[in-house]
Amino acid sequence: MIIDFNSETSRISSTVYDVAIAGGGPAGITLALALATTGQRVALLEGGGLAFEAVSEDMYEGVSTGETYYGIASRLRYLGGASNHWMGRCGSLDDIDFQSRSYRLLPGWPISRSEVYRFGAHAARVVDLKGFTFRPPSGRSLRSSNFRLAQFDLSPPTRFLSKYLAPLRRTPTLDCFLHANLTNIDANIAADRVNSFTVRNYNGHVAKLRARRFVVALGAIENARVLLNSNDVMKAGLGNLSDFVGRCFMEHLDVSIGRFISTNDGFWGRGPVDVSPSPELMLKHNINNGVLTLAPAASPQEFGRSAGLKRMLRHGACTFEATKVWGRKLYDFDCPGDSVITTMIEQVANPRSRITLTPERDTMGLHRISLAWHVDVRDLRSIEIMATELAKDFARQDIARIQIAPEVRNRTIRDFGLQSHHMGTTRMSRDARFGVVDADLKVHGIANLFMIGSSVFPTGGGINPTFTIVALTLRLAEHLKTKAA
């Protein structure tokens, strides 16, 4: 049943649910349906409604204090979450992403790849993929031990609101409350058990939602934010035993790494190519994972708040041959029609890259966030080594000649594009000293509180996160049905 908490305020406190879930994005909706269809009594709280509303969206505003980050408010705050405008690119993390690697300094995943993707076939159905086998596009091959063709598939893309509204409405044991904002996680005095969620609508009405188990699925920024705001019994924020709540914020870096000239028409005839470093290359150089996209005759992209200005300068510089030369000398412009290389590079988990709270509060009374996003020297090194190895590899194979941008070679990149993949702020770790949730996604030290979403990723790998979020969600559903007390 769908209930608008702005107008119907009594039902939310009239039942003790088996599971209360906050957040109606891909994670929350998948979990609610997976549990309710097996008879569990489930409440799903969604802070927005069934369409974009400025008053809800405003709650996502925050400030960026590290590297300029213009993706804080790139999310959508209504039922379906960011899936209302995601691009649908899906893939799975590699085995190497789950391995412990000493240069990373923090422990990696406490579970194996096969444990996550036990739920791969089911996750594929959730996002309307034909199956759970990600392959490179057919008809292409790469003779290289350093790079492989990236493997992914495209969801239509599934809009969780349109696809799952009817099931949310008709599942008898599921109550989905709209305009129902989680504003506090109410723990007992020992901070080892949650008693209720405090929920608030847009007319100032406040209610307590009671359940046996509680799950937070608000996306990686809000997952950390609500724990930090819930500081009535733990001053540092609920679950913040080891000061890891909000730390290790990770993105996928979109960097213009250079231009290329194709030397093999047969290879480039099918358009852009996506390649990833091989596990051997990553291990040999201690570098991150990622995807490099080589697009022949591309339209270059601009990033950041000054994108409009950069577009104008680029247009001016690229119009004439003489100014093009100078434009490139001064700024290394890629001009329209150049063959350019862009990226989606993993970041190492870096505790300095961090979400904290500002004194300013939103209309629900929650402190807004400050994001100090940092790009580590290990990330810059990874980008430089990947670019250099790719240039050598493609020259050796006579596929292309690559010109690497000077700031990539010098490791002085300042202009980072991003993918709106927010990860890592409540990281999973077997040892409570290095994370927030355990291998079952239960918050360390709290018996009945679970987190889900890419906030729990200890590493981000070189692939888009949503397919893995959905697989992890289905694994959590199994745990809550069968094992959790």
Query: Which residues bind to ligand FAD, rule: CB under 6 A?
Result: 22-28, 45-48, 74-75, 77-79, 81-83, 85-90, 181-182, 217-219, 222, 420-421, 453-454, 464-466, 469
* Minimum CB distance to ligand FAD, residue 55 (Å): 12
User: Nearest to residue 408, comparing CAs of 252, 254, 304?
Assistant: 254
* Minimum CB distance to ligand FAD, residue 460 (Å): 11
Q: What are the residues whose beta carbons fall under 8 Å from the beta carbon of 126, sequence distance 6 or more? A: 26, 30, 158, 470, 474
* Helix (H/G/I), strand (E/B), else coil: 154: strand
User: Nearest to residue 239, comparing CAs of 473, 432, 422, 479?
Assistant: 432
Residues 213, 169 contacting (CB under 8 angstroms):
no
* Minimum CB distance to ligand FAD, residue 452 (Å): 7
Q: Specify the residue, 75 or 259, whose C-beta has the smaller distance to ligand FAD.
A: 75
Q: Specify the residue, 39 or 365, whose C-beta has the smaller distance to ligand FAD.
A: 365
Q: Specify the residue, 88 or 246, whose C-beta has the smaller distance to ligand FAD.
A: 88
Residue nearest to ligand FAD (CB): 25
Judged on CB neighbours under 10 Å (0-12, 13-18, 19+), 320 is: exposed
* Minimum CB distance to ligand FAD, residue 77 (Å): 4
| Residue at token pair 């950041």 | 304
Q: Specify the residue, 164 or 268, whose C-beta has the smaller distance to ligand FAD.
A: 164
Q: Specify the residue, 48 or 107, whose C-beta has the smaller distance to ligand FAD.
A: 48
Residues 223, 216 contacting (CB under 8 angstroms):
yes
Look at the chain and count its residues.
485
* Minimum CB distance to ligand FAD, residue 436 (Å): 15
Beta bridge mates, 361 = 367
Q: What are the residues whose beta carbons fall under 8 Å from the beta carbon of 138, sequence distance 6 or more? A: none
Phi and psi at residue 190, in whole multiples of 5°? -80, -5
Q: Specify the residue, 27 or 287, whose C-beta has the smaller distance to ligand FAD.
A: 27
* Minimum CB distance to ligand FAD, residue 349 (Å): 17
Per the structure block, which two tokens stand in for 347? 């970041």
* Minimum CB distance to ligand FAD, residue 465 (Å): 5
* Minimum CB distance to ligand FAD, residue 120 (Å): 14
Q: Specify the residue, 251 or 389, whose C-beta has the smaller distance to ligand FAD.
A: 251
* Minimum CB distance to ligand FAD, residue 272 (Å): 15
Residues 440, 448 contacting (CB under 8 angstroms):
no
Residues 464, 92 contacting (CB under 8 angstroms):
no
DSSP string, 111-128: S-HHHHHTTHHHHHHHTT
Residues 58, 189 contacting (CB under 8 angstroms):
no
Q: Specify the residue, 86 or 147, whose C-beta has the smaller distance to ligand FAD.
A: 86
Q: Specify the residue, 404 or 436, whose C-beta has the smaller distance to ligand FAD.
A: 436
How many angstroms separate the CA atoms of 355 and 31, rounded?
26
